[in-house]
Amino acid sequence: MRQSIRALGWAVTLSTLILVVFLVSTFYSVFQLLMAQGVGFGEFRMSSSNDEVTLSMPIIVNNTGAFDINDFQITTTFKDSNGFVILENSTVIQEVQKGQLKSATHTLTMSFLDILSNRTNLLFNDTEFKIDFSIGFRYTYLLGFQMSLKNMSISWGAPLYGLRVTGVNLIPINETYLLMELQLEVENHSFLDVGAIFRLTIYNENGRQVGTGTGGIFIPQGQRLTTSQALVELTDPTNFTGRGHVKISIEIPEILEHYDLPEVYYG
6 within domain boundaries: no
Residue 29, in any domain of the structure: no
Among 156, 178, 213, where does a domain finish? 156
State pLDDT tens for residues 203-235: 999 999 999 999 999 999 999 999 999 999 999
Residue 170 has pLDDT above 80, yes or no: yes
Q: Has residue 188 got a pLDDT over 80?
A: yes
Of the candidate ranges 89-93, 152-156, 238-242, the one whose mean pLDDT is the lowest: 152-156
Question: Where is the domain boundary, 141, 156, 171?
Answer: 156
Residue 24 forms part of a structural domain: no
Q: How many structural domains compose the chain?
A: 2
Which structural domain, as residue segments, surrounds residue 107? 37-156
pLDDT at residue 253 greater than cutoff 90: no
What is the spatial distance between Cα 174 and Cα 177, in angstroms, rounded to a whole number?
Answer: 5
Residue 239 has pLDDT above 90, yes or no: yes
Domain co-membership, 173 together with 232? yes
**148 and 188 share one domain:** no
Could you tell me if 151 and 44 lie in one domain? yes
pLDDT digits (tens, 9 = 90+) for 36-85: 456 777 776 777 676 677 878 888 888 777 778 888 888 988 888 888 88
Same domain, 151 and 165: no
Task: Give all strands of the β-sheet with 161-172 in edge-to-edge order.
Answer: 161-172, 177-187, 224-234, 209-219, 194-204, 244-252, 256-266
pLDDT higher than threshold 80 for residue 242: yes
pLDDT recorded at residue 154? 82
Do 245 and 266 touch, CB atoms closer than 8 A?
A: yes
Statement to judge: residues 235 and 133 lie in one domain:
no
Same domain, 75 and 142: yes
Same domain, 60 and 150: yes
Q: What is the pLDDT of residue 164?
A: 93
CATH, residue 126: 2.60.40.10
* pLDDT at res. 233: 95
- The tens digit of pLDDT for each residue in 112-163 reads 778 888 888 889 999 998 888 888 878 767 667 777 878 888 888 999 999 9
Bigger pLDDT: 163 or 96? 163
Q: For the ranges 8-12, 102-106, 109-113, 242-246, which has the lowest average pLDDT?
A: 8-12
| Contact in structure between 106 and 57 (CB atoms under 8 Å) | yes
pLDDT at 6 over 60: no
110 within domain boundaries: yes
* Rounded Cα–Cα distance for residues 229 and 217 (Å): 8
Does residue 256 lie within any of the structural domains? yes
Look at residue 241 and give its three-state secondary structure.
coil
Under a CB-based contact definition with an 8 Å cutoff, are residues 188 and 160 in contact?
Answer: yes
The length of the chain, given as a count of residues: 267
Taking residues 4-9, what's their average pLDDT? Answer: 42
Domain-terminating residue out of 106, 122, 156? 156
Residue 5 CB-half CA count within 13 A: 2
* 75 and 52 in a common domain: yes
